[in-house]
């Protein structure tokens, strides 16, 4: 007789047991309980709402969807609307035109059919054109794999590359924990490289070289380098010269460059700009034969923030046709990604253009969201920097602040007694006192002896002053309680 | 320096290289090339369209979506429509009401936000009620995990259960190759049990017992039994008494019962009925402590056939809270399944009821699809049985015929020379002669020395006579060429 799964944890896959993913970990479960509490017993806590700053989930905090995108999605969901005269009054002319264009690319106009395993060809054409327009270099629709958000694409790459624990992937610390979780689940070795907090979370090539050398000397077969740009959780936007060094490093060392570029539309620093690693490598003269490069993108971030649609893609370049067949096979086993997500992924890469009926309202919606995010990033940065013992680098991009807290010894000791990491201890106290949910730095990795938390910049602007004041008050009380 | 991925297959995960998935294998790639050919050079082949009978993808062959479901989806995609008076003319009253109900269960009405990792609570409530109404036994919304179709749910279970190649999963032969692919990808051992073709693909408990005993004697830790009911590719609907034996077998042997119940609405045999394994086990008096049972369901099949929406769920019962935490963690790493798919999964479990404005048109659409499928299954069964050397059991349910072909020795020899399996050889010849795409039995597994193919019953009814005649003509020519 096998295990009794109704009573034991034994006999499960040890890699699953080992895997950790803090973004939706225990603190979030606790927050959900508090929220239930608040509904059932209003006034039972010193706050009246839970503020989920743990996850980059803009619409959950009130950000509105881009109207044009939703118009197109609704028409593609219910194409019979296109036969009705009332539709012209309800939808913009260009959303109707775009929906027809998309439907005409699908056999039988069937948005309810499985598509090609890589995604609908016409949508991949649009995405490839969008990449070309962005980068100024050609992109091939056959290199595009549409996926349910970026996460399954990352898993596919880890599954392809990792055959045993001897296979290593270089990952930043701090990092978005999808990477460590995926490496653990696929049984590989996570090789950490540290971003340099003192210089605003810079990525130093010497650090990459050292970690690679050490790993190789231990016999690890290092296969790929993960770079997140703009950075999550750091908010750092890489400088072009730095990106060139990274490309050169991967080319020289024969590493696959796994580029998480999901925040490419979220750049707030006026002196910074997003460049894709594909553009950088092509502008250095490197082609398909020189570097294997995968770029992940998602409809969940940017100004659109459509997390629930699970739309995304990867651009997969510099691999042999035989390897492409293998990744195609992996995509085929899951049949295809969801068609609404596929449509949305194509829309974010081909939004309304000057002259389209929706262009002005679209631009107004987009600019309002991005400029508000930039203001919120700055307000939170200033607020965190004004707290005792807290330093916070500028969020140049992405959706997060990642402040460092110098915790008093007494707090560290109290955390030890509570059997939790000091920054997790701080985050729990914050939640219980204010209803604000953040994720402690230990969920992302950090240099030993340093403590951080990640807080999204997503609460609606009008709520930020109250949040800052609640946070400030909590922090003061916390420090008063634990200061030496 | 690591591998040069631009030129070699070495150094990839060997489990990926080993994995096979025939449903979208080489023959489909070849069909796509032929289709391209037909577009560019009409008349270049002895047929003028490709008929994809390789995959259960109803809308791709012209099946129309259920109007009510699409109305609700469009309204949830673009909730601003609910504020407009024109909407009442375009949508049924109950679709508007249902959309409002659904939106009210989502914080900020944000269908663009990540949901709870298991899916939106209100939708899980609806699904649990639907299961209760179907089975007559309680269902708990906390046991429901919404997923992007059934495939990711199957992968999650394999990932949870398989820790090494010593872990085995009992799977039917023939089987839907998702199971073998997933077991291979997760590095486990596939223990085949054979369905008995002579008795219409019956599942014999003695066969399960033998295979389990043999596997255990080889030291394999057998963890679960996969049962597909209604059967894919066999079309067999299990009898209630047989299901009771299966439940008793799993309970006695401590095996997790992984029940693929995605064809639960597709039953055509008047003397057969679908019973969920949950209903069977509860009616035998077995509860959470007695049997670990996972039921997979999908919005891709049934009368709805919404493959492209990637909606589905698993009901996960009889596991300890610690194990549930592990599967919750796996769900969390991928954040959540797509919200349109979640909504659709709830709709298929709570369709319009008597008295709702849409009820009559909904019922008419549903009945037309199911009764036409039943007719098509019968016509194809008769047609296949009329071919020389072909026997085909009745498709009591699901979406497929799975005829057996007794191939002449000369054909088997020709296949050998072409370095392909004899039934794959037959399928290729069929495609090249008629444009009809079927999957050979070797893609599903079959007893050594027997040959089959799987053909969906999905081509539109008015096309079936022409298909039957093309098929019959091809078969006659094939037999004439190879008959001894």
Alpha carbons B206 and B191: distance in angstroms, whole number: 15
Could you tell me the pTM of the whole model? 0.95
Q: How does pLDDT run across B452-477, given as a tens digit for each residue?
A: 999 999 999 999 999 999 999 999 99
- To the nearest 10 degrees (0 to 180), the angle between helices B67-77 and B359-385 is 120
Q: What would the mean pLDDT of B403-411 be, rounded to a whole number?
A: 95
CB contact under 8 Å between A9 and B161, yes or no, is no
Q: What is the pLDDT of residue A19?
A: 85
CB contact under 8 Å between A112 and B65, yes or no, is yes
Q: What is the share, in percent, of chain B residues with pLDDT greater than 70?
A: 98
User: Please, which residues 382-421 of chain A have a Cβ atom closer than 8 Å to chain B?
Assistant: none
On the 0-12 / 13-18 / 19+ scale of CB atoms within 10 A, A412 is middle
A348 interfacial to chain B (CB closer than 8 Å): no
B324 interfacial to chain A (CB closer than 8 Å): no
User: Please, which residues 31-50 of chain B have a Cβ atom closer than 8 Å to chain A?
Assistant: 32
Q: How does pLDDT run across A13-26, given as a tens digit for each residue?
A: 888 888 887 767 78
Q: How does pLDDT run across A356-386, given as a tens digit for each residue?
A: 999 999 999 999 999 999 999 999 999 999 9
Q: What is the pLDDT of residue A7?
A: 58
Q: How confident is the model at residue B8 (pLDDT cuts 50, 70, 90)?
A: low
Q: How does pLDDT run across B262-287, given as a tens digit for each residue?
A: 999 999 999 999 999 999 999 999 99
ipTM of the complex: 0.94
Q: How confident is the model at residue B2 (pLDDT cuts 50, 70, 90)?
A: very low
Q: What is the pLDDT of residue B21?
A: 78
B308 → closest Cβ in A111, A222, A323:
A111
Question: Minimal Cα–Cα distance from B321 to chain A, Å?
Answer: 8
- For A93-149, strand residue ranges (E) read 144-147
Residue A476 reports pLDDT greater than 50: yes
DSSP type of residue A316:
E
Q: What would the mean pLDDT of A313-339 be, rounded to a whole number?
A: 93
Q: What would the mean pLDDT of B298-302 be, rounded to a whole number?
A: 96
Q: How confident is the model at residue B1 (pLDDT cuts 50, 70, 90)?
A: very low
Q: What is the pLDDT of residue B7?
A: 58
User: Please, which residues 142-201 of chain A have a Cβ atom closer than 8 Å to chain B?
Assistant: 148-149, 151-152, 155, 159-163, 178, 181-182, 185-186
CA distances from B52 to A193, A479, B32, B75, B454 (A): 49, 68, 10, 32, 11
B298 interfacial to chain A (CB closer than 8 Å): no
Q: How confident is the model at residue A481 (pLDDT cuts 50, 70, 90)?
A: very high
Q: What would the mean pLDDT of A299-304 be, rounded to a whole number?
A: 96
Alpha carbons B441 and B422: distance in angstroms, whole number: 10
Q: How does pLDDT run across B112-152, given as a tens digit for each residue?
A: 999 999 999 999 999 999 999 999 999 999 999 999 999 99
Q: How does pLDDT run across B47-106, given as a tens digit for each residue?
A: 988 999 998 999 998 999 999 999 999 999 999 999 999 999 999 999 999 999 999 999
Alpha carbons A255 and A291: distance in angstroms, whole number: 8
Alpha carbons B296 and B179: distance in angstroms, whole number: 13
A53 interfacial to chain B (CB closer than 8 Å): no
Alpha carbons B189 and B102: distance in angstroms, whole number: 42
Residues of chain A in contact with residue B96, where contact means CB-CB under 8 angstroms, are: none
Can you list the domains of chain A with their CATH numbers?
14-62+364-482 (3.90.1150.10), 67-104 (1.10.287.1970), 114-348 (3.40.640.10)
3-class DSSP assignment, residue B457 = coil
More confident residue, A20 or B207: B207
Least Cα distance to B197 among B380, B448, B438 occurs for: B448
**Bridge partners, B437 (sequence order):** B52
Residue A188 tokens, joined: 């590989």
CA distances from A458 to A55, A59, A461, B481 (A): 9, 9, 8, 70
Q: How does pLDDT run across A32-42, given as a tens digit for each residue?
A: 899 989 989 98
CB contact under 8 Å between A90 and B89, yes or no, is no
Question: Minimal Cα–Cα distance from B416 to chain A, Å?
Answer: 24
Label residue B318 left, alpha or beta by phi (over 0 means left) and psi (-120 to 50 means alpha): left
Q: What is the pLDDT of residue B66?
A: 97
Q: How does pLDDT run across B174-196, given as a tens digit for each residue?
A: 999 999 999 999 999 999 999 99
Alpha carbons B185 and A426: distance in angstroms, whole number: 40
A77 interfacial to chain B (CB closer than 8 Å): yes
CB contact under 8 Å between A289 and B6, yes or no, is yes
Average pLDDT of chain A, as a whole number: 94
């Amino acid at each position: 007789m096998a295990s009794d799964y109704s009573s034991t944890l034994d006999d499960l896959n040890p890699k699953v047991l080992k895997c950790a993913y803090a973004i939706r970990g225990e603190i979030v479960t606790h927050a959900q309980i508090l929220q239930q509490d608040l509904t059932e017993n209003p006034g039972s806590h010193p706050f009246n709402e839970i503020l989920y700053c743990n996850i980059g989930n803009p619409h959950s905090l009130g950000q509105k969807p881009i109207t044009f995108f939703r118009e197109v999605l609704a028409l593609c969901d219910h194409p019979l609307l296109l036969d009705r005269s009332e539709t012209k009054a309800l939808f913009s002319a260009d959303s109707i035109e775009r929906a027809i264009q998309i439907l005409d690319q699908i056999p039988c106009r069937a948005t309810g059919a499985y598509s090609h395993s890589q995604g609908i060809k016409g949508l991949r054409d649009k995405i490839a054109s969008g990449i070309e327009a962005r980068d100024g270099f050609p992109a091939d629709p056959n290199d595009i794999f549409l996926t349910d958000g970026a996460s399954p694409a990352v898993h596919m790459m880890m599954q392809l590359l990792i055959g045993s624990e001897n296979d290593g992937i270089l990952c930043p610390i701090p990092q978005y924990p999808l990477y460590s979780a995926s490496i653990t689940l696929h049984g590989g070795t996570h090789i950490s490289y540290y971003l340099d907090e003192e210089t605003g979370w810079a990525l130093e090539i010497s650090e990459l070289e050292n970690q690679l050398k050490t790993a190789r000397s231990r016999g690890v077969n290092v296969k790929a380098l993960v770079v997140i740009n703009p950075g999550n959780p750091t908010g750092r936007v890489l400088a072009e010269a730095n990106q060139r060094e990274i490309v050169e490093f991967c080319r020289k060392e024969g590493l696959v460059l796994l580029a998480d570029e999901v925040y490419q539309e979220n750049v707030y620093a006026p002196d910074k700009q997003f460049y894709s690693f594909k553009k950088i490598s092509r502008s250095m003269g490197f082609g398909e034969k020189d570097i294997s490069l995968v770029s992940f993108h998602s409809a969940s971030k940017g100004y659109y923030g459509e997390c629930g649609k699970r739309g995304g893609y990867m651009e997969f370049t510099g691999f042999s046709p035989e390897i492409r067949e293998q990744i195609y096979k992996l995509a085929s086993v899951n049949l295809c990604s969801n068609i609404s997500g596929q449509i949305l992924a194509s829309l974010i890469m081909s939004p309304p253009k000057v002259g389209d009926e929706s262009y002005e309202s679209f631009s107004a919606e987009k600019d309002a969201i991005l400029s508000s995010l930039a203001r919120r990033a700055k307000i939170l940065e200033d607020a965190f920097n004004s707290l005792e013992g807290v330093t916070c680098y500028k969020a140049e991009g992405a959706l997060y602040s990642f402040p460092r807290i110098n915790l008093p010894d007494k707090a560290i000791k109290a955390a030890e007694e509570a059997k939790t990491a000091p920054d997790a201890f701080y985050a729990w106290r914050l939640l219980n006192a204010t209803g604000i949910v953040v994720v402690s730095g230990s969920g992302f990795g950090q240099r030993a002896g340093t403590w951080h938390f990640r807080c999204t910049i997503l609460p609606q602007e009008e709520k930020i002053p109250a949040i800052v004041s609640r946070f400030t008050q909590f922090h003061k009380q916390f420090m008063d309680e634990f200061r030496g």
